[in-house]
Amino acid sequence: MQLKAIVTGANGMLGDSFCPLLENKGYHVVATDIITNARIIKLDIKNLDKTMNVVKREKPGIIFHLAAETDVDKCELNEKHAYETNAKGTENIALCCKELDIPMVYISTGSVFDGEKEDGYTEEDVAGPPVNIYAKSKLEGEKIVKSLLSKYYIIRAGWMIGGYNKDKKFVWKIVELLKTKKEISAVIDKFGTPTFTKDFSKGIYDIITKGEYGLYHSVNNGICTRFDIAKKIIEYLGKKNIILKPVDSRAFPMPAPRPKSEALINHKLSSMGMNNMRTWQEALKEYIEEIK
């Protein structure tokens, strides 16, 4: 019998590569998001009744919960919206999984930590206290999933790269800037682990295929700064004569504070012999080749 999965947030950066991967693996994918189009069913996860109706109607064998408010500054400026989407929305999905007694996959973030550990956090490090509202609401989502379910996978990603026309993050911003600018700046005092949506999607699939519930970190290997990434983008684009200035984060004041470090280590995957992630440089190079 064909496996059926509901994917929330299917129209986002990760959904863009995860839904086709799941279909290629033989799943019947019910792709949902807050908007609708030819491929996607409208499902606002904030509404429990409507969410439960869709889930009961579709009767999936698993729910991949990708939907979130991922605009960190928007979350900071509208705490209620952040919690309603990232915490209450996650609770609604968990309640649906409980009702159907099916596993839930919740995608979380390296920003759930306090930001002080520059050499990377493992699954054994205690999360919190997060430094911004986005991360607080995502951590709350983790706590809710753990408290309501036993059949869950919480998979934390790092700085997401990929998404192609859905990309709204750092790599896309730098690529766009380099179309017109000869001089750009990038931050040297924040540390993270890039996570290519293509690699992360495969990683999610491998984890659920293995079938061991629990908490995972899944990022491309290697820790870097935004400056390191910008430098590699310039190199991979083959841009000459670009001046890249190292700056500290005070050069870019933003509504939400960013943790000094949200770098993750795939400790659990390594210990299970399942750390198949490439280095972030290899992943970034492939992404830049594909979009340039």
Ligand X SMILES: NC(=O)c1ccc[n+]([C@@H]2O[C@H](COP(=O)([O-])OP(=O)(O)OC[C@H]3O[C@@H](n4cnc5c(N)ncnc54)[C@H](OP(=O)(O)O)[C@@H]3O)[C@@H](O)[C@H]2O)c1
Positions touching ligand X (CB under 6 A) are 8-9, 11-15, 33-34, 43-46, 66-70, 85, 89, 107, 109, 138, 157, 159-160, 166, 169
Shortest gap between Cβ of 14 and ligand X (angstroms)? 3
Shortest gap between Cβ of 78 and ligand X (angstroms)? 12
Distance from the first to the final alpha carbon of the chain: 41
Nearer to ligand X, 135 or 288 (CB): 135
Shortest gap between Cβ of 33 and ligand X (angstroms)? 5
- Position 234, amino acid: I
Nearer to ligand X, 10 or 234 (CB): 10
Nearer to ligand X, 162 or 234 (CB): 162
Omega cis (within 30) before 129: yes
E strands, the chain, are 4-8, 28-33, 41-42, 62-65, 104-109, 152-157, 159-161, 183-187, 191-192, 194-196, 214-217, 224-225, 243-247
Neighbours of 94 (CB within 10 A): 22
DSSP-derived secondary structure for 111-135: GGB-S--TT-B-TTSPPB--SSHHH
Nearer to ligand X, 71 or 242 (CB): 71
Shortest gap between Cβ of 281 and ligand X (angstroms)? 18
d(CA 208, CA 239): 40
Shortest gap between Cβ of 109 and ligand X (angstroms)? 4
Nearer to ligand X, 12 or 274 (CB): 12
Nearer to ligand X, 172 or 227 (CB): 172
Contact 198, 17 (CB under 8 A): yes
Q: 8 - beta bridge partners?
A: 65
Q: In sequence order, what are the residues at sequence separation of 6 or more whose Cβ sits closer than 8 angstroms to the Cβ of residue 153?
A: 103, 104, 105, 106, 204, 207, 208, 213, 214, 216
Nearer to ligand X, 85 or 281 (CB): 85
| Residue with the CB atom nearest ligand X in the bound state | 12
Shortest gap between Cβ of 44 and ligand X (angstroms)? 4
Shortest gap between Cβ of 82 and ligand X (angstroms)? 10
182 secondary structure, DSSP code: S
Shortest gap between Cβ of 181 and ligand X (angstroms)? 23
The region that residue 273 occupies, defined by phi over 0 for left and psi between -120 and 50 for alpha, beta otherwise, is left
Nearer to ligand X, 87 or 107 (CB): 107
Tokens for 164, please give them: 């192609």
